[in-house]
Amino acid sequence: MPSDVTPLSRWRDHHSTQMALGPLSILIRKLLSHSMLSTADQEAIAALPHKIKQLPPGGSILREGDQAVICPVLLSGFAYRQKVASDGGRQIVALKLPGDALDLQSLYLQKADHDVRMLTAAELALVPLAAIEQLTTTRPAVARAVLIDILIESSISREWLLNIGRRNALARLAHLLCELHDRVNDIATEMSANFEVPLTQEQLADLLGLTPVHVNRMIRQLEKMGAIGRPSRSLTILHFPNLAKISNFSSAYLHRNNISRV
Amino acid sequence: MPHYYFNTTNGSPHVDDAGMDLPDIYAARREAVRYGGSLLSDDPEMVMHDNGLCIDVVDEAGSRCFAVRVVIER
């Protein structure tokens, strides 16, 4: 692995050093990326009751039909949402990164409509939904931040729908890698141009709606173009501008500059 | 589970170096047809060149199991 590639395990360490507000500071940081929160709001989020849970890759935290009572917050590692068709075909419908709350929708909807699983080994903070609900009723800025978080996830879903429905296989893969690049850099404390993508070819196939053989072929093609590297079978983004050009990537749908600066 | 490789030899040449574990030859046939469909939906022109699209499916020993071809006839 080239020395300038950031291994996934290091992200958590960056955050640990600045955890004045405890484990949930990573969630606060995520919410602050799109919403304004006062110091009191931030302290109230940090004080939410929670239990820490470790899960292995593939570990399940929510199943379709569940009536959730806790909202897991991803402290480290990656997670995904999936839906499964009656013939067993699986579609990965969302990727979640450290700092993401995994089930804010259960604040308002009775039953889970999809599964949530871990892509990598992960550490979670399990926060009672009732405690979050209470916080949102007493603190309007927190309620607004929760709403914005849900809206941005919907925006990403719309972009994925376009990606899977209308982009060719090469652009589809390149677009996903661009999105991951931007989202990972938003949570990393030091900018890293290159990083490992924690998805297998089968998982990429289930996410992009392609066959694994087709995914492998597109990976090879991006590799030949110098856009990605493959140290020890994992996949590394090497040249973001190249990927952005192939997929005509614009990060507008990520709403990264959502806070209006007066 | 047997391992199959899906090489395209016409239209859009590519040697599959990863392959895929599949339960049997019937599953490999379905996978080859799906792969071809996916390639063609990206680039329908593929069929117009050379002798059309040909997906050669090869087993682990390197023997050809079957091929899927898409050609335009007139």
In angstroms, rounded to a whole number, what is the distance separating the alpha carbons of residues A34 and A215? 33
Q: By the CB < 8 Å criterion, does B38 face chain A?
A: yes
CA distance A239 to A147: 34
Q: What is the pLDDT of residue A237?
A: 85
Å from A89 to nearest chain B CA? 13
Write down the pLDDT at residue B50. 75
Rounded distance between C-alpha atoms, residue B70 and residue B54, angstroms: 6
- Which residues fall within 8 angstroms of residue A216, CB to CB, at 6 or more apart? A201, B16, B17, B18
Low-confidence ranges of chain B (pLDDT < 70): none
Question: What per-residue confidence (pLDDT) applies to A258?
Answer: 85
Residue of B3, B8, B14, B41 to mutate for A, most A C-beta atoms under 10 A? B14
> Among A12, A214, A125, A22, which residue's Cα sits nearest to residue B19?
A214
CA distance A132 to B64: 59
Q: Walk along chain A (262 residues) and give the pLDDT tens digit of each residue.
A: 444 554 454 444 444 434 578 999 999 999 999 999 999 999 999 999 999 999 999 999 999 999 999 999 999 999 999 999 999 899 999 999 999 999 999 999 999 999 999 999 999 999 999 999 999 999 999 999 999 999 999 999 999 999 999 999 999 999 999 999 999 888 876 655 567 888 999 999 999 999 999 999 999 999 999 999 887 667 888 899 999 999 999 999 999 888 875 5
pLDDT of residue A193: 56
pLDDT of residue A192: 59
| Alpha-helical regions (H) of B1-74 | 25-42
Write down the pLDDT at residue A5: 52
Q: Which one of B17, B31, B42 has the shortest CB-CB distance to A169?
A: B42
> Which chain B positions have a beta carbon within 8 Å of A170's beta carbon?
42
Outline where DSSP puts E strands in A11-78.
Answer: 51-55, 60-62, 70-76
Alpha-carbon gap, residue A54 to A76, rounded angstroms = 10
3-state DSSP helix/strand/coil % of chain A, to nearest 5:
45, 20, 35
The rounded distance, in Å, linking the Cα atoms of A148 and A230 is 36
